[in-house]
């Protein structure tokens, strides 16, 4: 791993969740979230990747997927604080949270621990750069409320235009 990247977590499937310094000037602690699956290159997850995986999980187990989204909304998005240093530290994640939802690992591409860690880091990133931002909150609410695919995908791919 180069000095550019800082390892935050290794998911149950061996995927490394890593961060690098960001380029936004809203905060000196800005960072970008990345991951590297075993044998693959470093990638940067986007909101749409998480949402598609949640749709796949919902096809397999709607009840528990909605519980997972409730957990993300109530225990991550609403509770994380801005980063106070670099690299950022996980504030909420615990393996006990994963156990409640590990039945969802049968569906989609990403294991639950990966989803929880990446979601938390993305929320910390938003709070660090945009303390009053609600993009992530609105996106997960739309998914939870079963808004139409167009609405959810539009929220997931919003680019500030």
pTM: 0.91
CA 16 to chain CA centroid, nearest Å: 14
User: pLDDT in tens for each of the 161 residues of the chain?
Assistant: 567 999 999 999 999 999 999 887 778 899 999 999 999 999 999 889 999 999 999 999 999 999 999 999 999 999 999 999 999 999 999 999 999 999 999 999 999 999 999 999 999 998 998 877 777 888 899 999 999 989 888 888 865 54
| pLDDT confidence of residue 131 | 78
């Amino acid at each position: 791993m180069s000095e550019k990247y800082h390892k935050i977590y290794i998911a149950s499937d061996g995927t490394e969740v890593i961060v690098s310094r960001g380029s936004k000037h809203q905060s000196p602690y800005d960072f970008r979230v990345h991951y590297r699956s075993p044998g693959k290159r470093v990638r940067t997850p986007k909101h749409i990747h998480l949402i598609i995986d949640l749709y796949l999980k919902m096809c397999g187990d709607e009840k528990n997927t909605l519980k997972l989204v409730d957990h993300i909304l109530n225990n991550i998005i609403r509770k994380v604080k801005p980063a106070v240093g670099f690299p950022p530290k996980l504030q909420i994640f615990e393996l006990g949270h994963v156990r409640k939802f590990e039945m969802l690992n049968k569906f989609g591409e990403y294991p639950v621990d990966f989803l929880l860690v990446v979601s938390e880091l993305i929320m910390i990133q938003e709070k660090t750069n945009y303390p009053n931002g609600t993009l992530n909150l609105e996106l997960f609410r739309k998914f939870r409320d079963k808004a139409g695919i167009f609405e959810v995908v539009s929220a997931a791919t919003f680019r500030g235009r």
